[in-house]
Amino acid sequence: MWKRAASLLLARRSAVAAQRAPAISGSAASGLRRAPAFFSTLDVGQARTRVEDVMPIATGLEREEIEAELQGKKRFDMDAPVGPFGTKENPAIIQSYFDKRIVGCPGDEGEDEHDVVWFWLEKGKPHECPVCTQYFKLEVIGNGGNPDGHDDEDDHHHH
């Protein structure tokens, strides 16, 4: 599960991005009772409904999830990032809450796929995949800092 949460960058053409919705549940769950797609294309055409109309007793994270869904956004970033093959001029942008993130590169589409190569992608240090030379750059969208917490500071530094 954390494999999914970490970045497995699929360097596919962006047209494939449209298939994002079913990809979430994983192919294994197809045909069985899989969770509903995060994007509800069926809501298009209806006026924007409130959470109360969908599930009146929703609360907490579940509520945030439904709220975001009604607005067409996603509350939780659970998908692997998708995008065109990253180059020096046009690097593949990986978002991160912290200053560094583990990224896995599976190569280009089709025959250019390779076994996943894992690496830390750090802020200000764009990385090139040693196998296929795909170029990655980190974009910090949160508070930054070390993902391990502040253990690079003194032990007795209290908050």
Q: Work out whether 147 is an interface residue with another protein (CB under 8 A).
A: no
* Cβ proximity to another protein, 16 vs 29, nearer residue: 29
C-beta atoms surrounding 139 within 10 Å: 11
Q: Which stretch binds another protein (CB under 8 A): 13-21, 73-81, 104-112, 120-128?
A: 73-81
C-beta atoms surrounding 79 within 10 Å: 18
Q: Which of 15, 18, 57, 148 binds another protein (CB under 8 A)?
A: 57
* Cβ proximity to another protein, 77 vs 112, nearer residue: 77
Backbone angles phi, psi at 61, to 5 degrees: -65, -35
Backbone angles phi, psi at 94, to 5 degrees: -110, 125
DSSP letter for each residue of 34-70: PPPPSS-GGGTTSPPPPHHHH-TT--HHHHHHHHHHH
Annotated binding residues for Zn(2+), written as ranges, equal 105, 114, 129, 132
Q: Which of 43, 67, 122, 128 binds another protein (CB under 8 A)?
A: 43
Binding mask 86-125 for another protein (x = CB under 8 A): -----------x----------------------------
Q: Which of 19, 50, 77, 93 binds another protein (CB under 8 A)?
A: 77
List of E strands, the chain: 7-8, 10-11, 82-83, 92-96, 100-107, 113-122, 127-128, 135-140
Q: How far apart are CA 33 and CA 148, in angstroms?
A: 37
Report the nearest approach of another protein to the CB of residue 136 (Å): 20
Q: How far apart are CA 127 and CA 121, in angstroms?
A: 6
Report the nearest approach of another protein to the CB of residue 135 (Å): 25
What is the contact surface with another protein in residues (CB under 8 A)?
Answer: 1, 5, 29, 32-33, 35-36, 38, 40, 42-43, 54-63, 65, 75-78, 97, 142-143
